[in-house]
Amino acid sequence: MTPRQEPERYTVVSADCHAGADLRDYRPYLASRHHGAFDAWAAAYTNPFADLQAPEADRNWDSGRRLAELEQDGIVAEVVFPNTVPPFYPSTSLTAAQPTAEEYELRWAGLQAHNRWMADFCSLAPGRRAGTIQILLGDLDAAVAEIRRCRAAGLTGGVVLPGVPPGSPVPELYSAAYDPLWAVCAELDVPVNHHGGSAGPVLGEEPAARAVFMVETTWFSHRALWHLVFGGAFRRFPGLRLVLTEQGSGWIPGVLDMLDYYHQRLVGAATRASTAESKFGAGLAEAMGAGPRAVWERNCFVGASFMRAHEVPLRERIGLDKIMWGSDFPHDEGTFPYTTEALRTAYAGLPYAEVAAMVGGNAARVYGFDLPALDALAAKTGPLVSDVAQPLPTPPPGATSPAFATGGSVRVW
């Protein structure tokens, strides 16, 4: 039998891209009863984000420009998270706090408008965009209904799980109150995405606060993992899948070691009467089922946006079938227009099969892309395997992505 020849180019699926409508283009996606409130809100809104201002902003909603730039960068498909500001929000929804009871109706209407827009946007590039579904946690019946509606409308990128910082007006994520949400996601095979930057407390605008945010933001995003693991969500719903996106990947082996340690320690303590720790482990084994590492191996994945070179040696401990590279397009910390160079920085010298899985195959499996169809597109535009195999001597001039950052000994926690 003749060995199968490796393709000349990689099929790259970005597991982390962002898009959204221009501000006033959300209006048709709102119920007419909200139009007056929307007009007043839009007239008063001042956009504080440079990347949402011309000429770069239309990368978020200009389908033709977006496809052309992604293809130029070697990317043939994308998982699409929100980016622009949805109706009635003061800022982007990914980083927004849970709304108060007074804010809920309009904020929920704004997210639903974005979901409707997202479905239309994805329909402009069939098979190449897996749009995500935004929900709120204040009304789980409404959230479940929206997931069903959006999945039927063609959004295949999974749910964006809102952040729940300490002190939020909704239960912590380990609560069984969220079982209706986990149940519908498991039933419909909808991944649950928890995106970086979405779960930290509000810290203010002082220089120290901004620095503390950078240090802590990924840690707060990681919390969803141990909340769902210790909360037993994966025992009750074995088909549930969790994806942790744009929060690094090098932290995962160490955190799994830590979670296994606490699991074993607390479960063991629960079997010993009258110890100081016995109360902490009471009922944990029954609630959780399998231990943290087994849950990770069965149910969890990482959206490894602009994966850095120092994280790559940990790939087997993370799980080669878990890692899904992302470009973070169109953010300036993303790899555009230097995706091939970013892949060289991370993956030069690795076996073809490993790179192919991390840059496209895993994401195609998790999000339901038709990989053979994408292979045909990538045969024309994907990064050359021979190019990615060559180490990159120096970062491209002007590159702003952390993919090219030095200081490889720093671990992202």
- Cis peptide bond N-terminal to 162, omega within 30: no
pLDDT (0 to 100) of residue 55: 82
Q: Whole-angstrom Cα distance, residue 330 to residue 253?
A: 29
* 6 falls within a domain: no
pLDDT digits (tens, 9 = 90+) for 21-76: 999 999 999 999 999 999 999 999 988 777 777 788 999 999 999 999 999 999 99
Average pLDDT over residues 232-251: 97
Nearest CA to 197 among 345, 57, 18, 70?
Answer: 18
Stated as kind and residue range, the H or E segment containing 386 is helix 385-388
Q: With 60 as the cut, is the pLDDT of residue 286 above it?
A: yes
| Structure token digits, residue 17 | 């891209």
* 192 falls within a domain: yes
φ, ψ at 296 (rounded to 5°): -55, -45
* 310 falls within a domain: yes
pTM (two decimals): 0.95
pLDDT digits (tens, 9 = 90+) for 197-215: 888 888 888 999 989 998 9
* 7 falls within a domain: no
Domain count, the chain: 1
All residues at 6 or more sequence positions from 172 whose CB lies less than 8 Å from its CB, including other chains: 164, 227
Nearest CA to 114 among 77, 76, 144, 88?
Answer: 88
At CA 378, angle to CA 250 and CA 119, rounded to 5?
A: 80
* 412 falls within a domain: no
Q: Which residues of 319-345 are buried (b: 16+ CB within 10 A; e: fewer)?
A: beebbbbbbbbbbeebbbbbbbbbbbb
* 169 falls within a domain: yes
Nearest CA to 160 among 196, 110, 213?
Answer: 196
Average pLDDT over residues 158-167: 94
* 219 falls within a domain: yes
Q: Which domain holds residue 231?
A: 12-404
| Structure token digits, residue 32 | 């007419």
* 411 falls within a domain: no
pLDDT (0 to 100) of residue 413: 38
Which CATH number goes with the domain that contains 227?
Answer: 3.20.20.140
pLDDT (0 to 100) of residue 412: 41
